[in-house]
Amino acid sequence: MKKEDLPQDPGALDNFTREVCYVKNEDGKYETALSKGWEVKAQALDSAWEDVNARIEEARQAVKNGEKSPIHYFMELRLMDLPVLSGYTGFFPFFIKRHLKPAIFAGLSDRKLAKYATAFDVTVEELKNFKG
Amino acid sequence: MTEPLAFGMGSGLFYIQIPFLTVNNGPAISFRTMPGAIFKRTCKSLGVDVTRKKFSNVAAAEAFLDQKVREGIPVGCQVGVFHLTYFPKEYRFHFNAHNLIVYGKEGDQYQISDPVMEDVTTLSRPELTRVRFAQGPLAPKGHIYYPEKIRPITDDMIRKGIVSGIRRNVRDMIRIPGNFAGVNGIRHTSNHIRKWRDKLGLKKASLYLGQIVRMQEEIGTGGGGFRFLYGAFLEEAAAYLQDDRVSNISEDFTKAGDMWRASAIKMAGVYKGRLTEQKDFEEIADMLLDTRLVEKEAFQKLASLNLGK
């Protein structure tokens, strides 16, 4: 990549940082240059977030329709999957899958709910009363 | 000591598509060796002893960090970025292989130097502990490391480090067995891309391509999936070794980096919804195959150089 080709497209990094890139200068030697961002990259990030938001919305609907427990919604909201949530709560994925069912979720003890609430950064009340 | 030199001596350039593993619901692809391994090899060839520690006990991890900070030793910490407060929200995924340096403490704020930031920053104790004990794949478990003994470094050591670094990288890229790592890994991914549109549907296939671009051009890669960084390393290596053949091969890596970027632009066309045909996926796959050839030839040239021991 030549130095003059280094993209300077605005993106999520504005007001945060610029990134170091290795580019060729006029003499054909490598040197570092700072880039504000690259459109191609910003779009990759945007499309990833579009997907995340669609998944969150889908999860919200599922909770609303009584198909899934609130844990499913908060799991998507915090971008977690089963192994990650399992790490934060200490529950085995097998049990978490069970807790995603509304009927089983309704019978969970406050102690177990508290573990989920800490992992999701919400209060137990918020977790219990989430209706979609 | 410069970044490209450290990267090259640690044989940083790599390619792997890890089978079965998915990250953020996409394929797990990496363009470099694990940063811990690069650091380890570089330190070894420079004769620097590094102590590293992991903790199962949170309190012990905090106490150990405090002690090192009091002794005035800067320490590296592996952290997860999801709870890293100073990161922009858009970048906060569950990614656990980020590293930062704690170099001091002021009041109850730890002073942090983060490689992606232009400036230094601070974190409070609960914030730091939280990211040091992030969960999920590659959980850091409070992983902490620092240099123990530093001896003077001679040019001769650097030269030796460069040669062994290049040799090890040749091994990793073209002699590694199996089909999903090294230059053959690029072909592996290319074959997958051909099938993605039919197998996964257009939407998921384009998300997968987006994931490749994000892995390739993530902050701190130096652009082009580390290929430019390796090019810069070979250029510096040529100066140390007084060998023009090495700097000629550097050009090949610049070319490979440019090709990676060109294919990223093409992939962007897909996830923007501009390109939707199977032939576009075929074209991307072919671009990767061309890139593979360039890299393979470059490493074969490196292998055939007689760089001494």
User: How much is the mean pLDDT over chain A?
Assistant: 89
Give dist(CA B218, CA A45) in Å, integer.
10
CATH numbers and ranges of domains, chain B: 3-25+153-304 (no CATH), 49-149 (3.90.70.10)
Could you tell me how many residues make up chain A? Answer: 132
State the pLDDT confidence band at B308, using cuts at 50, 70 and 90: low
| E strand residue ranges, chain A | 19-24, 30-35
* Of B143, B111, B125, residue with least CA distance to B34: B143
User: Is some CB atom of chain A closer than 8 A to the CB atom of B113?
Assistant: no
Q: Do B254 and A29 touch (CB under 8 A)?
A: no
Q: Do B88 and A12 touch (CB under 8 A)?
A: yes
Residue type, A48: A
Give dist(CA A23, CA B222) in Å, integer.
9
Averaged pLDDT for residues B280-299: 93
User: What number of other Cβ atoms are within 10 A of residue A110's Cβ?
Assistant: 10
Query: How many CB pairs below 8 Å do chains A and B form together?
Result: 108
For residue B109, the model assigns a pLDDT of 92
Using DSSP's 3-state secondary structure scheme, residue B22 falls into strand
For residue B3, the model assigns a pLDDT of 82
Chain B residues with CB-CB distance to A13 below 8 A: 88, 219
Alpha-carbon distances of B81 from A6, A15, B130, B193, rounded to whole Å: 27, 18, 10, 29
Maximum C-alpha span of chain A:
71
The DSSP result for B69-125, as a single string, is HHTT--EEEEE-STT-TTS-GGG-SS---EEEEEEEEETTEEEEE-TT-SS-EEEEH
Domain with CATH 1.10.260 in chain A: 47-129
Instruction: Give the phi and the psi of residue B27 in degrees, each rounded to 5.
Output: -70, 145
Residues A106-115 have pLDDT tens digits of 999 999 999 9
State the pLDDT confidence band at A61, using cuts at 50, 70 and 90: very high
State the pLDDT confidence band at A72, using cuts at 50, 70 and 90: very high
User: How much is the mean pLDDT over chain B?
Assistant: 87
Sheet of B109-113: strand order equals B49-53, B144-149, B75-79, B98-106, B109-113, B121-124
Mutation target for A interface from B272, B274, B284: give the one with most A CBs within 10 A.
B272
Q: pTM of the entire structure?
A: 0.86
User: What number of other Cβ atoms are within 10 A of residue B56's Cβ?
Assistant: 9
For residue B283, the model assigns a pLDDT of 93
For residue B131, the model assigns a pLDDT of 93
Alpha-carbon distances of B9 from A7, B168, B220, B246, rounded to whole Å: 29, 9, 18, 14
Q: Which CATH class is domain A47-129?
A: mainly alpha
Chain B residues with CB-CB distance to A19 below 8 A: 116, 219-220
For residue B223, the model assigns a pLDDT of 63
Of B213, B232, B258, the CB nearest to A44: B213
Of residues B185 and B119, more confidence is placed in B185
DSSP state of B181: B
Statement: residue B126 has pLDDT above 80: yes
Residues B141-168 have pLDDT tens digits of 999 998 887 778 888 888 888 999 998 9
Averaged pLDDT for residues B67-75: 90
The ipTM is 0.84
State the pLDDT confidence band at B190, using cuts at 50, 70 and 90: very high
